Homo-oligomer: A and B are copies of this chain.
Amino acid sequence: MTVAGLHTLTASEISRLIKKNEVTVEDYARSLLARIEKRDDIVHAWTYLNPDLVIKQAQRLDGIPHAERGPLHGVAFGIKDILNSEDMPTEFGSPLYKGNEPSMDSSAVGVLRTAGALILGKTVTSEFTVANTGTNTTNPHDPKRTPGGSSCGSAAAVVDFQVPLSVGTQTAGSVIRPASFVGVYAMKPTFSTISNDGLMTYSITVDTFGFFASSVEDLQLVANVFALQDDEVPVEKPLNEVRVAMMKTPLWHLAESGTRDAMDKAASILTSHGAKVDDVSFPPEYSDGVALKRMFSLIADGEAQAAFLKEYRMDKTKVAKEISDLVENKFNYTKKERLQALDTYARMRPAHDDLVSKYDAIVTPSVPDIAPVGIDWMGDPSFNILWTGLHMPVINVPAFTGSHGLPIGLSVVAGRFFDQHLLKITEVLSVPLVENGGWRIR
């Protein structure tokens, strides 16, 4: 492989080459920078990228003796600009924080950096992750379409070979939805397993850190660095021993042809490979999808009242209207309703853990359909909110194609704190799905 092609490798592949001294971090960095230079005018994935700083960091990493290198040595990451980074500006997609330069890394970025990651730059986020509009990042497969939000830059950069790994956050569907729209893997682990410190919080009850990759192996690499651990080390099962719950969810009426076909196709592929596949419904007491969506908004948007009070007070003219509306509680949400919502989701969590405990995994929609046309509206996160609210770990598997040959992902979901199990089972399930689903990342 020439240096020029290094940017096409997965994180695990480049990591092996760097370990074997076959590639320097600097050469690798130059290959990524060249790719970005070529593509940035179309994709606009980065809000901050300083080639000099990248090369300096790469050279610093090359100077570290092998014995002292971390598990991510030289592997490049894009960081959603909602997470503080100590050597780059962090602006949260907000004019209020133009040029803000944090003195310390967010917890997650610090964990990556101490593991030897090359922090390449900051990727575009919508304002405070709340706005579902307002960025110029495009879907690399069709620049007329959105890559999905709010982690638009992180998703687009990975699928466009500008960086092999990136990180983001999800309140409603800000990790899994863009992963589906651009056709990459992404993992949102169990709530609370990765620290949210040093990111701009939208909803303290549901905000979850997540990461994007182009293979399950790469997701695994990141999960291990964050010390994600189940009570038991998961054992690998052959497909013909796997039990899958296909869950259309109480929001199935939102699914359009792309997702309907993907769910059908997934069931038939898995069945034909010997897996036991059941259609499973939400428990009857949680079968009102409209109510579940409204309850999710009561939690997330209710908590946003406190979350963005500071910014509103700093200068409300510099805060997007959809955010100042939340602070002002324009929807007249009551605390009583919020409590009902909080307590309902809290009761749903063990109920869904129980439900999934009879299966190896849930397979469920990631999005209603392919990425919509236009970059002004970042798409519908409805299917994601259920699992975010349930605190369950989710992986988007980018296996299918919808109309225009564009990607459609499905979500594989496990019970809370079964993150390693989820990775293992996704590794097994994704093989026939990707082989027969129609979507290829490379």
Separation of A305 and B227 alpha carbons in the complex (Å): 9
Do A114 and B303 touch across chains, with their CB atoms under 8 A apart?
A: no
Q: Which of A120-169 contact B (CB under 8 A)?
A: none
State whether the Cβ of A353 lies closer than 8 Å to any Cβ in chain B. yes
Chain B residues near A350: list those with CB within 8 A. 339, 343
Q: Once the chains bind, are A313 and B115 in contact (CB under 8 Å)?
A: yes
* Cβ 8 A contact of A103, one of B102, B197, B231, B313: B102
Among A18-26, A61-69, A105-113, A242-250, which stretch is in contact with chain B? A105-113
Nearest residue, chain B, Cβ from A303: B192
Interface-lining segment among A2-10, A199-207, A258-266, A430-438: A199-207
CA distance A195 to B202 in the complex (A): 9
Q: A104 and B111: CB pair below 8 A?
A: no
* Contact between chains at A231 and B334 (CB < 8 Å): yes
Q: Contact at A197–B194, with CB atoms within 8 Å?
A: no
A335 near B195 with CB under 8 A, answer no
Mark each residue of chain A from 297 to 316: 1 if its CB lies under 8 Å from any CB of chain B, else 0: 00000010111011101100
A440 at the interface (CB under 8 A from B): no
Known interface pairs A227-B305, A231-B335. Does A114 touch B343 (Cβ–Cβ under 8 Å)?
no
Q: Confirm or deny: A349 has a beta carbon within 8 angstroms of a beta carbon on chain B.
A: yes
Contacts of A307 in B (CB 8 A): 107, 195, 197
Name A70's closest neighbour in chain B (CB-CB).
Answer: B313
Which of A107, A110, A303 has the most chain B CB within a 10 Å cutoff?
A: A107
User: Which residues of B lie under 8 Å from residue A201 when comparing CB positions?
Assistant: 195-197
Interface flags for A166-181 (1: CB within 8 Å of B; 0: not) read 0000000000000000
Interface residues on A, range: 35 or more
State whether B226 touches A204 (Cβ < 8 A).
no
Q: Check A306/B104 contact, CB under 8 A, given A201-B197, A335-B417.
A: no
- CB neighbours of A349 from chain B (8 A): 342-343, 346
Cα distance A229–B192 in the bound complex, in angstroms: 28
What's the Cα separation between A334 and B232 when bound, in Å?
10
In the complex, are the beta carbons of B110 and A310 less than 8 A apart? yes
The distance from the CB of A86 to the nearest CB of chain B, in whole angstroms, is 10
Residue in chain B with minimal CB distance to A204: B192
Closest to A229 in B: B335
Interface 1/0 per residue, A229-246 and B, CB below 8 Å: 111000000000000000
Contact of A306 among B195, B311, B342 (CB under 8 A): B195
Least distance between A107 CB and chain B CB atoms (Å): 4
A293 to B1, CA, bound (A): 58
Q: A435 to B208, alpha carbons, bound, how many Å?
A: 48
Residues of B within 8 A of A271 (CB): none
A416 touches B227 (CB 8 A): no
Instruction: Contact check, B110 vs A226: say whether CB atoms are below 8 A apart.
Output: no
Q: Residue A193 at the B interface, CB < 8 A?
A: yes
**Residues of chain B with a CB closer than 8 A to A336's CB:** 231, 417
Contacts A102-B104, A104-B102 given: A313-B111 contact, CB under 8 Å? yes
Which of B114, B204, B347 meets A196, CB within 8 Å? B204
Interface check A37, CB cutoff 8 A: no
Task: Report which of B107, B205, B314 forms a contact with A114, defined as CB distance below 8 A.
Answer: B314
Contacts of A50 in B (CB 8 A): none
**Interface check A272, CB cutoff 8 A:** no
Any B CB within 8 A of the CB of A268: no
Separation of A405 and B94 alpha carbons in the complex (Å): 53
A-B contact pairs, 13 of them (CB 8 A): A107-B307, A107-B309, A107-B310, A110-B314, A111-B313, A194-B306, A195-B201, A196-B204, A227-B305, A229-B335, A231-B334, A231-B335, A346-B349
